[in-house]
Amino acid sequence: MARQARFWLNKDLGFFARKKTLREMMAERGLDEFGRRKTQAAPAERPAPPAAEPAPQTGATARFVASFSYATLGQQTVEIEELNALEFRGRNRQDGRLHSYAWAKIRGLVKIVDSGEMLTPLEVLDRFH
């Protein structure tokens, strides 16, 4: 159905003509599907991030930076040691103590320290559970 050609009545020419796709109309203007001139070179690839320092040997599963709704302003770096669907236990890098954190109390995205990825709390749970 999606590949079936659609036709419309061209009043100027007096016959049915196929509708153009957005890609075809942009190609007529000399643009690619991203709106760049076809003569422009594609943007250079981003350089790879520097290699992350290895995680300390504390039995941690993952290390990430996050903001919590019940914490002070700013972000905390936490090393996960145990986790389940509702909460995780982790060592806070600022004070070095083991704390329990609720997944629901994380504000925004979580940055994985080792890879630099930004993930939602559910994606962190899926990846490291």
Report how far residue 29's alpha carbon sits from residue 125's, in angstroms, rounded to the nearest whole number.
47
Same domain, 66 and 117: yes
| Domain-embedded: residue 74 | yes
| Domain-embedded: residue 54 | no
The pLDDT value recorded for residue 9 is 53
| Domain-embedded: residue 52 | no
CA angle 30, 33, 37 (to 5 degrees): 35
The pLDDT value recorded for residue 62 is 81
pLDDT in tens, 48-85: 666 655 444 445 578 888 888 876 667 888 888 888 88
The pLDDT value recorded for residue 68 is 82
Q: Are 127 and 119 in contact (CB under 8 A)?
A: yes
Please report which helix (H) or strand (E) contains residue 100, including its range: strand 98-102
Same domain, 118 and 83: yes
| Domain-embedded: residue 46 | no
| Domain-embedded: residue 49 | no
Query: How far is residue 25 from each of residues 12, 16, 22, 31, 104, measured CA to CA in Å?
Result: 19, 18, 5, 9, 46
Q: What is the CA radius of gyration of the chain?
A: 26
| Domain-embedded: residue 17 | yes
| Residue 93, domain extent | 62-128
Q: Of 104, 108, 129, which is closest to residue 118 (Cα–Cα)?
A: 108
Same domain, 124 and 83: yes
| Domain-embedded: residue 51 | no
Q: Who's near 102: CB < 8 A, 6+ residues apart?
A: 86, 87
Q: Are 81 and 60 in contact (CB under 8 A)?
A: yes
Same domain, 118 and 80: yes
Question: What pTM value is reported for the model?
Answer: 0.47
pLDDT in tens, 29-46: 888 877 788 775 556 677
Mean pLDDT of the region 7-13: 55
Same domain, 31 and 81: no
| Domain-embedded: residue 72 | yes
Domain count, the chain: 2
> Which of 3-12, 35-44, 62-71, 91-100 has the highest mean predicted lDDT (pLDDT)?
91-100
Same domain, 34 and 66: no
